[in-house]
């Protein structure tokens, strides 16, 4: 793999959709920074797989909900891989199934901090490096939203859906703000995807329970989401900005 490959940072790249994105990106020649928050073994496994395949990758620990961590993560990427060309704002969390009349302030603050403030802080740092206005050479950002943004998550996690609605608005606005500065900004809205996120929200059987509600009658796999993300990052999407692509099996 060429050392001249483009530099990509994937937040939450250690597991699930983020890990699939890192692995596919490395196959396409990107040099990949794999961010994670606590599961070092999983992030290291992604890095090892990329390196064994001849690619270039580093693991970068950091909580995207912490400004100090975001700043140090970007400094690590600058130092170890060079100036970033692409960002995938993938890290995100759900919480226990709960109606809005039962949610706590602590839950809301955590959800907003990780799912909204984190991606905006990461995009800010990326734009500071990519924008021609700041002496950069352009780049691409893909935000990972959710089909929940348009379905609403009623009875399950309306607060999570609202964070993804914010990501959709942020995608549209930032795309227009930096369109003349060489940066494209797009988003994907996954539907039900087989990852650990459902168990982390206390619903390990959620994928099996929801499968029948998906028009194509199956869940997506992380690689199918990664394919859409990599297309949006690629030169094949050179005229695509401010787009939000449903990758949800028709749901
Ligand atoms: P996942 O399997 O739970 O993996 C989440 C990844 O994000 C992990 O690598 C985790 O790090 C990292 N992460 C969590 N909080 C973080 C933080 N504060 N700072 C940095 N990294 C953090 O999740 P997934 O299902 O792949 O979801 C990825 C994205 O897709 C999320 O934005 C999610 O909302 C969205 N999405 C998923 C689905 C689905 O059905 N799976 C559907 C629609 C949208 P550690 O490994 O260190 O814990």
Number of domains present in the structure of the chain: 1
Residue whose CA is at the smallest distance from ligand 1 atom 8: 12
Cα(170) to centroid of ligand 1, in Å? Answer: 19
Residue 233 predicted with pLDDT over 70: yes
Q: Is residue 90 part of a domain?
A: yes
Residue 187 predicted with pLDDT over 50: yes
Q: Is residue 2 part of a domain?
A: no
Active site residues: 160
pLDDT of residue 120: 99
Q: Is residue 146 part of a domain?
A: yes
Give the atom of ligand 1 at the shortest distance from the alpha carbon of 40.
47
Residue 210: pLDDT band with limits 50, 70, 90: very high
Q: Is residue 1 part of a domain?
A: no
Domain boundaries, position 231:
7-247
At 58-112, the pLDDT tens digits run 999 999 999 999 999 999 999 999 999 999 999 999 999 999 999 999 999 999 9
Q: Is residue 71 part of a domain?
A: yes
For residues 87 and 233, what is the distance between their CA atoms, to the nearest angstrom? 9
Give the atom of ligand 1 at the shortest distance from the alpha carbon of 39.
47
For a mutational test of ligand 1's pocket, the pick from 46, 92, 93, 151, i.e. the residue with the most ligand atoms closer than 8 A to its C-beta, is: 92
At 4-41, the pLDDT tens digits run 799 999 999 999 999 999 999 999 999 999 999 999 99
pLDDT of residue 4: 75
**CATH number assigned to the domain comprising residue 44:** 3.40.50.720
Cα(37) to centroid of ligand 1, in Å? Answer: 10
Nearest to 25 by CA among 243, 225, 249: 225
pLDDT of residue 1: 41
């Amino acid at each position: 793999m060429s050392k001249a490959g483009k530099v990509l940072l994937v937040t939450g790249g250690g597991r699930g959709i983020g890990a699939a994105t890192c692995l596919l990106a490395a196959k396409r020649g990107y040099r990949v920074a794999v961010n994670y928050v606590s599961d070092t073994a999983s992030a290291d496994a992604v890095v090892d797989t990329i390196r064994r395949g001849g690619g270039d990758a580093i693991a970068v620990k950091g909580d995207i909900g912490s400004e100090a961590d975001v700043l140090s993560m970007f400094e690590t990427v600058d130092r170890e891989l060079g100036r970033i060309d692409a960002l995938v704002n993938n890290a995100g969390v759900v919480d226990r199934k709960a109606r809005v009349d039962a949610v706590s302030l602590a839950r809301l603050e955590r959800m907003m901090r990780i799912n909204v403030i984190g991606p905006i802080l990461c995009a800010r740092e990326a734009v500071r490096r990519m924008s021609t206005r700041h002496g950069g050479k352009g780049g691409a950002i893909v935000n990972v939203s959710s089909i929940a943004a348009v379905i609403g998550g009623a009875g399950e996690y309306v607060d999570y859906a609202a964070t993804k609605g914010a990501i959709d608005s942020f995608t549209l606005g930032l795309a227009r703000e930096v369109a003349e500065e060489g940066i494209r900004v797009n988003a994907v809205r996954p539907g039900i995807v087989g990852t650990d996120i459902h168990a982390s929200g206390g619903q390990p059987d959620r994928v099996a329970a929801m499968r029948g509600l998906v028009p194509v009658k199956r869940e997506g796999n992380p690689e199918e989401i990664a394919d859409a993300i990599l297309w949006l990052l690629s030169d094949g999407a050179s005229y695509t900005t401010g787009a939000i692509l449903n990758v949800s099996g028709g749901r």
